[in-house]
């Protein structure tokens, strides 16, 4: 049902792109808009992971730089029956994380420096397991392609605005009024579709991530800590690229007081409640796959300020 829902939502977005193209240029405009959407999806298929990582200022790390982090990701990936993803660190103090890549063979997990300071090992393992669940479910491709289409719809909305303001087409398609309506409602509709996909996927990734790490309460604790801290620390790269917000485990943007209808993620308290219910049914427990690792300090260059977290000083 999840895949069917995603297919329907993306089909609706494609229809929206074509409708806006029709308002701009009739049948020819609809065809051109469809071609643009298709080209954008193809580009996202091959380049979305690199583009998002570049936008966020991610730094690829090796085992020599972060042995505990790499060993933890490797252990959890093995437990999830996934290939070892590339591991990146984001140079921001906001605790957060995301995954990207078109398939499990070309995937990456990115964590911020802030999250390695705020969370303990079990909590960080829960976050990484959540991101690996997105990779396992192939959510990373779905969310990135959807974000690309949402961007295309917003672009078409801007084109309609200028067309209406500066004497564009004014025939039986509604003229300036249709342009104004499309300009206002199309980006909102695209955003709602993207958010609906994100909300559905986050619940499922929480559930599967808790199964991978074997400790749903650790993931619940991590979500509580991240949610509290994310609203206090600005993530500048994410603020500059708000379309990527749905990819993070917790909304990285500071528009946190907006109505929940426009939230990119489910309410954190709802996610925590589900994880606690899962633990109460017997989902809590299991040995952590990194438990026997020797403590080795990370040598990732700090973004500023003392590194007082469980990973040692840089």
Which residue in the block uniquely carries the two structure tokens 């003392």? Answer: 306
The backbone torsions φ and ψ at residue 5, rounded to the nearest 5 degrees and listed phi first, read -65, -40
* Cβ proximity of 48 and 207 under 8 Å: no
Largest Cα separation within the chain, whole Å, is 72
Which residue ranges make up the annotated binding site for Zn(2+)? 130, 134, 202
Q: Which residues are catalytic?
A: 131
Q: How far apart are CA 212 and CA 252, in angstroms?
A: 24
**In angstroms, how far is the first alpha carbon of the chain from the final one?**
45
Supply 100's token pair: 């990207």
Which residue ranges make up the annotated binding site? 130, 134, 202
The backbone torsions φ and ψ at residue 172, rounded to the nearest 5 degrees and listed phi first, read -75, 5
Q: How far apart are CA 199 and CA 196, in angstroms?
A: 5
């Amino acid at each position: 049902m999840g895949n069917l829902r995603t297919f329907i939502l993306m089909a609706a977005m494609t229809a929206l792109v074509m409708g806006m193209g029709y308002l701009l240029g009739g049948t020819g405009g609809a065809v051109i808009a469809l071609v643009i959407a298709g080209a954008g999806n193809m580009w996202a298929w091959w380049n979305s992971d690199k583009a998002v990582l570049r936008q966020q200022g991610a730094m690829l790390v090796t085992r020599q730089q972060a042995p505990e982090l790499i060993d933890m990701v490797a252990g959890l990936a093995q437990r999830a029956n996934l290939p070892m993803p590339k591991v990146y660190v984001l140079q921001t103090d906001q605790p957060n994380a995301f995954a990207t890549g078109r398939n499990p063979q070309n995937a990456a997990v990115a964590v911020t420096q802030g999250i390695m300071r705020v969370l303990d090992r079990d909590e960080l393992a829960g976050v990484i397991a959540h991101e690996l669940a997105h990779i396992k479910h192939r959510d990373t491709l779905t969310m990135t392609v959807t974000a690309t289409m949402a961007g295309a719809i917003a672009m078409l909305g801007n084109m309609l605005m200028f067309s209406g303001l500066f004497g564009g087409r004014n025939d039986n398609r509604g003229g300036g009024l249709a342009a104004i309506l499309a300009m206002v409602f199309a980006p909102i509709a695209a955003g709602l579709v993207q958010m609906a996909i994100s909300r559905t996927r986050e619940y499922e990734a929480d559930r599967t991530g808790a199964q991978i790490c074997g400790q749903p309460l650790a993931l619940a604790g991590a979500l509580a800590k991240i949610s509290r801290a994310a609203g206090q620390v600005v993530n500048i790269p994410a603020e500059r690229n708000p379309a990527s917000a749905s990819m993070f485990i917790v909304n990285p943007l500071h528009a946190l007081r907006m109505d929940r209808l426009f939230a990119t993620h489910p309410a954190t308290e709802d996610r925590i409640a589900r994880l606690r219910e899962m633990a109460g049914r017997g989902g809590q427990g299991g040995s952590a796959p990194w438990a026997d690792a020797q403590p080795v300090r990370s040598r990732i260059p700090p973004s500023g300020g003392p590194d007082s977290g469980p990973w040692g000083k840089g």
